Structure 1
């Protein structure tokens, strides 16, 4: 594409649509379109930059005509997907419509200027030629401006967390929907948020308690730790070395439990809970849709504004992000960059511009590789043992009366907590096969085809002649569980003539399974309900696509056939066990009946809503690619704050062996963000959770804060 000269960036010119372009519309009335449109070259330039990143295979000069200022252009180019278009007859220099007033773009086009012509092709794609003259500033303001400070409900006296640091508890109140302000009497429209502020080392004189009213320091900068998820709580003692690192550098560290997680309840109170649970599935889905990362960011911004008001000082967050926390931070950086001082991400670069299916295609590469390591290199005998276990659980385990939300009873074992309390969750053959999620902390065996790296720590190599194989701990634990299952079943396999009552799984084995099962959906249902939704986002080039349980589709289409034990809820035929090999799944969630036994009563009321969320195709934008690209843009650095530019330091660490966040997608995401420094961890055996691991936290934080 020819360069767009500065003097022509804000001019409006005619673009004539070709007959070929007009023929792409479905209805006859769609052909009666205006022949010319306004075009804002500044926004078109940003649009084409985004297109080049999202669709690199199309980003070749020969595919685009040379667009020259002041020259009418006949558009006969190929098309790229665009969500929708604002067709405008406004003067681009009129008040409120000037592109030189700073970034006014948005990725949410809900309103059209007159004439209201949504130029949508029959294949839901739009011609690149259409005007982007006004980026709908009002839409951005409606969705991201006007966030009000949270209500500070109270501050509790300091206490010590498990790592010895002192913290105080802060309770906030925020609206369920930040751009729809409700009366405080509408309790179902409010949420309470729990936060813990670590600001000092332990009291050197335990006999002298801290004063309950000791103030929060307005001088110390704030570090905000964003944990993984979605659905996890965020206690202040989770990463002890992080607290020590930050306090030594003069920070106070705020841990916020995201809305609906941990000590921030999913409902305002029991009355609101009853009201939501009595809603239709569609209304429940609308309620749950407000718990993604975009509204988490609004909550965090409301807390920041509240603290600014309480402390009478300006506050900018320094974000330290683990896994899903990086998703949250990137949304924050997209829409509210002025609130941030720096963003530091470990194993949490979101897959920008990728659909859920594209993400899971990468995920299953890692899942298959670890299954191959387990079954081919460490415990080949377990392939047949696992077959025996799942056949027993599928056909001979005790028949359960069914879980609320399921259409039929199923076979499995009810699970209990450490104190014998009922959890409402079950072990079934499908939940057993989700144990591959624990493989994420196991190093991958080096293949000959792997690229060499400058690693100080070598990954496991089975070709070494020095000593026996070193078996990763996750594989050891799974093998121990499988061995315990086999011991319980004895000769009671499918070929046995023993009755069901004579084949049983011991409490010890069930306890081993409970300790190894890591989804814990009974205490974090949002993980199951929103796990695929966190990948759904609109852009100005593409509508959001429904997740549609993408993980199970990718698994069932895998050429190995090793995941054919999975099924969609509509499947009524008996599931057959693969004849050759079968694999465990990883960090992937699948529809009922899998989710219901796994999540228990906390999840089952929302299974109908989960299917609706999986079909939802109008998710709002989670990222503003143009805003991300402009962060720390050297070419416009001199414009500074006058032009709305921000300078947020962004550093990230990615890991070669990360099973949960693909390295290639992380590297691609870094290219979207201006000024982002990303390094691949040089230690081959380090992985997804290294930021949280004792002995590694300080090293990772040093890279993030000080550079690599």
Structure 2
């Protein structure tokens, strides 16, 4: 196990073999990577473990450099394990290069059915027993989708958990994918309208961009097509604390000044590609709607729910907005089949994604009865108008989990854990300890 030092920390690499399918422990195995971080000077202390579950799906764990952000607060009390969930980071990869090695799209889709929260939790339990022993318990910190995984953990393996902290990640336990997106589009509209109120000049810039993209084919530096629908997905930025300002600065560089034609600037195209490309996290797209699939809630396929529900919200139609002289609405955390045409990193996975969208009989991810008798101390930060996770659904779930305490705040957006300098985590720790 390689060990190295960063400023104020000691880091140890761990790699664990885990079954691809935990119901077949003698079958194929893959590897899961995790990074252990402990404060310098505390490496020999018997500290409690804190497992961090990253947002996503398909997001790798943070790559820390010393005691930065929320990790600084965590290291006061814990030995932290940063998990690269299966298929991400340094774990066995699942992307356009590796998935075709498994065979055709049917085989790839079958393989990826083992990459949801239920499998991630089983990986965690195997790792827990390896590091802490059969009776050891650790604390959980789940950010966004990591909070979804935490609720799955509390449902099916609560005996391994000492306490749990959730930030922006309490899922609706019994919502269909269609209900998730019917709640999401109005939230996105509010964020876009708030952005336009803050930066009124961006209304005209976005309308000009949409006209430009309708009139000619625009390719990004990596070869991807910047279609109107692809560009609208830049609204994903608006769910973070600084996202509105980031979007404004991006838009103000859109067109080259001082030339005779309305040409898009290279700096704009490079930044748009950086924001829109899923080359570094393809699982976010192919698995995104599957995280809402549960056989007891809806036995049918998820079926590109975001695309189907979008038709119910005509105000997101860019052409209609232009024709009616209205501001063009951007979209948010939605995955559309067109992304697998426009993005070169996703195009090889197009058929696989289609098969997953048609997949039926997804196992349940939550056990409401177990959560109703929960005995694990849990504290959750719920952001007042979170663009990515429905606040009303989060609060309904909080009421369904015995003993769960919530902190509802509009001081931060969805990225509060990352940007608060440890204040969000500190409050949740004090809540679990009964100090606030």
Instruction: Give the TM-score, by structure 1 length.
Output: 0.57
1:454 corresponding residue in structure 2: none
CA contact (8 A) 2:255 2:264 kept: no
The superposition leaves residues 275-329 of structure 1 with CA deviations (integer Å, 9 ceiling, x where unpaired) of 32x32x22221111111111111111111122245xxx73112101111111101
1:430 aligns with 2:229: yes
Offset at residue 439 of structure 1 (A): 0.8
1:4-29 CA distances to partner (integer Å, 9 max, x unpaired)?
xxxxxxxxxxxxxxxxxxxxxxxxxx
Q: Could you tell me whether the CA contact under 8 Å between 2:285 and 2:335 is conserved in 1? A: yes
Residue 272 of structure 2: aligned partner: 513
Is 1:685 paired with 2:428?
no
The within-5 A match list for 1:107-506 is 155-160=1-6, 164-182=8-26, 189-201=28-40, 219-237=46-64, 240-249=68-77, 251-266=78-93, 273-276=99-102, 278-279=103-104, 281-308=105-132, 314-375=135-196, 377-396=197-216, 411-415=217-221, 423=222, 425-442=224-241, 473-487=242-256, 492=261, 504-506=263-265
1:664 to 387, 392, 402: 392
Greater gyration radius: 1
Cross-structure match for 2:282: 525
User: What does residue 654 of structure 1 align with?
Assistant: 382
Report SS of the residue matched to 2:213.
helix
Cα deviation, residue 378, structure 1: 3.0
Residue 335 of structure 2, aligned match among 566, 582, 589: 589
Tell me if the contact between 2:256 and 2:263 (Cα under 8 Å) persists in the aligned partners: no
Q: Which has the higher helix share?
A: 2
- For 2:14 and 2:152, locate their aligned partners in 1 and report how far apart those are by CA, in whole Å: 24
- Name the structure, 1 or 2, with higher relative contact order (CA <8 Å, separation 6+): 2
Determine the structure 2 residue equivalent to 1:537: 294
Structure 1 residues 585 and 274, CA, compared in 2 at 3 Å: closer, same or farther?
closer
Q: Is the 2:256–2:264 contact (alpha carbons within 8 Å) kept by the matching residues of 1?
A: no
Alpha-carbon distance, 1:274 to partner: 4.8
In structure 2, relative to structure 1, the CA distance for the partners of 1:697 and 1:180 (3 Å cut) is same
For each residue in 1:406-455, what CA deviation from the matched residue of structure 2 results, as whole angstroms up to 9, or x when unmatched? xxxxx32132xxxxxxx45443322211111111125xxxxxxxxxxxxx
Assess if the C-alpha contact under 8 Å between 1:355 and 1:545 holds in 2: no
- Write the distance in 2 (CA, Å) between the matches of 1:655 and 1:616: 32
Post-superposition Cα deviations, 1:480-501, rounded to whole Å, max 9, x if no partner, equal: 3333223459664xxxxxxxxx
Q: 1:619 to 1:301 in 2, by over 3 A?
A: same
Deviations 1:525-545 (A, max 9, x none): 000111111111133xx4434
Shift of 1:348: 0.8
Moved more, 672-681 or 504-513: 504-513
Q: Is the contact between residue 347 and residue 654 of structure 1 (CA under 8 Å) also seen in structure 2? A: yes
- With structure 2 as the length reference, what TM-score do the two structures score? 0.90
Distance in 2 (CA, whole Å) between partners of 1:703 and 1:653 is: 12
CA distance in 2, matches of 1:440, 1:431: 17
Deviations 1:558-599 (A, max 9, x none): 1xx221249xxxxxxxx995533320001111112x33323x
CA distance in 2, matches of 1:193, 1:180: 17
CA–CA separation in structure 2 for the residues paired with 1:217 and 1:178: 33
Taking the aligned partners of 1:667 and 1:676, their CA distance within structure 2 comes to 10
With over 3 angstroms needed to count, the CA separation of the structure-2 counterparts of 1:615 and 1:668, relative to structure 1, is: same
Deviation of 1:381 after TM superposition, in Å, equals: 4.0
Distance 1:362 1:431, change over 3 A: same
Q: Aligned Cα RMSD in Å?
A: 2.7
8 Å Cα contact 2:381-2:424 kept in structure 1: no
In structure 1, how many angstroms separate the alpha carbons of the residues matched to 2:82 and 2:172? 25
Asked whether the 8 Å contact 2:106–2:355 carries over to 1, the reply is yes
Counterpart Cα distance in 1 of 2:93 and 2:251: 36
> What displacement does 1:385 show?
2.8
Q: Distance in 1 between matches of 2:266 and 2:400?
A: 51
